[in-house]
Amino acid sequence: MLQLEIGQFSHPGRKRPHNEDWLGTFQPEDPVRLSRKGRLFLVADGMGGHRSGELASRHAVDSIIRTYVDDPTADPGRSLRRAIERANAALYAQTAGEEGRDRWGTTVVAAVIRGEELWIANVGDSRAYLLRDGQLHQLSRDHSLAAEVGIPDKENWVGRHVITRALGLKPEVEVDLFAPLKLRIGDRVLLCSDGLTTPLGDDEIRAIAGRGAPQAAAEALIQAANRRGGPDNISVILIAVTGREKSRADDLTSLLFHPASWQALAADLWNKGGSRRALLIAAVLLLALAVIVLGFIVGLLIW
């Protein structure tokens, strides 16, 4: 299991009176659930004005997390796609009939990290990036008029902010899900709303996102966007892969093949009868040793 360090920050920017973005994370402490579902991270950018946009992004994030956690599918990609599709249907049904409903929606970009694998899904123009070996790679695909007609998003033209796909606007939505990527120690994964990518170029994002601790880097990204005018709400989740956690299998191997570990265990057992944990470990080790000896004897007999 990879060790992750998380930084996250959201800000209304300098031009908007309210923040319609919403962040969400699911990081289970239960090791069984963690090994099965992994960790989930979400950034949503609401549309439709203060009340509509904020509610849309918050409800979408909450719905995706609940559905993803409860989904029995063992495949994180399938669970993630299903969760986003259900969030879209729920948001569309919830806002049906309300005045201005056709303008009530939200983008979403999601990342699941399970073991060493990363899944990305998105609807809209909120983005996912991978920072690896000093290079910044966009993992998501923008669903915007600018992307569809091939116009750079930094060009100042009337249609550059038009979204062609979002949650809550139609009964069904197409979710882009990208094949899992194997993460490495030193990688950084960035999820962000377009409030970051509109004022800042990729080179600027790469330089800031790669410096310092993830929380400090996340805040520095938003500060840089605000220095460029902060034209929209700005939200960032920055995930740094810092190492690997020691597994239970590693602990068992260490006990089996390192005499010092046996000595420490013996001392623990001798001290007032030992702890329950030490007794359990001793039983497991004895069982493992018995299996090894039995396998050796059977091998000799067959030979």
Q: Where in the chain is the domain with CATH 3.60.40.10?
A: 2-243
Is pLDDT of 117 > 70?
yes
Which pTM does this prediction carry?
Answer: 0.79
Helix (H) or strand (E) holding 262: helix 259-270
Is residue 251 very low, low, confident or very high in pLDDT (cuts 50, 70, 90)?
very low
pLDDT in tens, 51-79: 689 999 999 999 999 999 999 999 999 99
Contact (CB, 8 A) for 244 and 3: yes
* Angle at 69 (CA atoms; ends 68, 71), nearest 5 degrees: 65
Is residue 99 very low, low, confident or very high in pLDDT (cuts 50, 70, 90)?
low
pLDDT in tens, 39-50: 999 999 998 765
> Structurally, what CATH architecture does the domain formed by 2-243 represent?
4-Layer Sandwich (3.60)
Say which range, 208-217, 245-254, 256-265, 277-286, has the weakest mean pLDDT.
256-265
**What's the pLDDT score for residue 109?**
98
The residues pairing with 251 across neighbouring beta strands, listed in sequence order, are: none
Question: What count of Cα atoms within 13 Å lies in the side-chain half-sphere of residue 214?
Answer: 20
Other Cβ atoms less than 10 A from the Cβ of 261: the count is 17
pLDDT in tens, 186-236: 999 999 999 999 999 999 999 999 999 999 999 999 999 999 999 999 999
